[in-house]
Amino acid sequence: MAKVDLREKLTAPFDPSQIEWRVQQAGTSQDGSVWCMVLAFVDARALQNRLDEVFTPFGWSDAYTPHGDDFICTLTVEVEGKLVSKQNGASKTQVEGFKGGISNSFKRVCASGYGIGRYLYDLDTMFAETSSTKQSGDNWVQASFKDKKTNQFVKYWYKKPQLPEFAKPKINEDEVLELEGMITQKGGDKTALMMHFGVSKLSQMTPNQYDMAISMLKKKKDA
C-alpha cells in the first residue's frame, strides 16, 4: 500500500455514529437555563478497529510502561516490512484509574503518532442544545453537574451537536466512479457540481453530498 493511501486510510474521519461526546463544562445562566460545552472523541475500540482495517490484527501491537501514576503507550505498526513505533503518555484518571490511564495513552499515540482521529482536535468549542426536561431519542444524552451556589446536583439533557462537513467521512472509490459515470451519461458539468458542494475533487464529497449529487443528476435527461 502506498504511503499516501496509508495516510488517507488512517486519518479518514469516522462515521458520526462512532463519535462520542464528553461534557467539558456545564453551568446555569442568569435566567436559570442550563448550558454545557462538549468535546468530541472516539473510543479505544473504534481506534483498534481502524488499526485492524489498515494493518490487519496481526500488523500492529501496543505496549505500556508505567511511570508512577503515568503510562507510556508504545504503538508499533508494520509498514512495507518495517516496524515503526511511536509513543505518548497519559495519567491515571479519577473515574477509571489504571484503565483510564492505559486507554488515554493509547488514544493519544493514535492521534499524535498516526493521525487517527486527530481532526477532532480541530473542531471549534461546541455548546450543545440543552433541556431541563427529559428528552428522548438517540441524539439526546442525560448528564448532571454540581451547582456551586446551591451545592445540589442539577440534572439535564443535551443534544449531540452536528459535525462540520470536514469531520464527516468521504465517499469511496466505487462511488466516485459511479458519480463520474452518471455525470458523463447525463451530460453534467463536473466542475460546476464540485463548486456547488465546495470541493476540489469528487473524492472529497461526503456521503450526504454524494446522495444529493446523484439525486440532482437523476433528474437530468440523458445527454
Asked which of 58-62, 76-80, 163-167 is least confident by mean pLDDT, the reply is 163-167
Asked which of 58-62, 125-129, 170-174 is least confident by mean pLDDT, the reply is 170-174
Asked which of 4-13, 88-97, 169-178, 188-197 is least confident by mean pLDDT, the reply is 88-97
Does any domain span residue 111?
no
In this model, does residue 31 exceed pLDDT 70? yes
- For 175-200, the pLDDT digits (tens) are 999 999 999 999 999 999 999 988 88
In this model, does residue 206 exceed pLDDT 90? no
Q: Is the pTM of this model over 0.85?
A: no
| 34-41 sheet: strands from edge to edge | 20-28, 34-41, 126-127
Does any domain span residue 112?
no
Residues 56 and 35 in one domain: no
Residues 20 and 129 in one domain: yes
Does any domain span residue 212?
yes
Residues 132 and 154 in one domain: yes
Does any domain span residue 223?
no
Segment holding 158, helix H or strand E:
strand 153-159
Mean pLDDT rounded to a whole number for the chain: 91
Residues 35 and 125 in one domain: yes
Q: Note the pLDDT of residue 4.
A: 62
Mean pLDDT over 20-36 rounds to 93
Mean pLDDT over 114-143 rounds to 94
Does any domain span residue 109?
no
Question: Which residues fall within 8 angstroms of residue 83, CB to CB, at 6 or more apart?
Answer: 76, 77
In this model, does residue 3 exceed pLDDT 70? no
Residues 95 and 123 in one domain: no
Residues 93 and 193 in one domain: no
Q: Note the pLDDT of residue 57.
A: 96
40: closest CA among 55, 53, 23, 27? 23
Residues 35 and 64 in one domain: no
Q: Which residue has the higher pLDDT, 221 or 109?
A: 109
Q: Note the pLDDT of residue 100.
A: 84
Residues 134 and 96 in one domain: no
Does any domain span residue 129?
yes
pLDDT level of residue 2 (50, 70, 90 thresholds): low
Residues 37 and 124 in one domain: yes
3-state secondary structure 62-123: EEEEEECCEEEEEEEEEECCEEEEEEEEEECECCCEHHHHHHHHHHHHHHHHHCCCHHHHHC
Residues 137 and 163 in one domain: yes
Please count the structural domains in the chain.
3
Q: Which amino acid is at 16?
A: P
- DSSP letter, residue 97: B
Does any domain span residue 78?
yes
In this model, does residue 95 exceed pLDDT 70? no
Residue 71's domain spans which residues? 49-103
> Is residue 29 classed exposed, middle or buried when 0-12, 13-18 and 19+ CB atoms within 10 A define those classes?
exposed
Q: Note the pLDDT of residue 10.
A: 95
71: closest CA among 91, 96, 94? 91
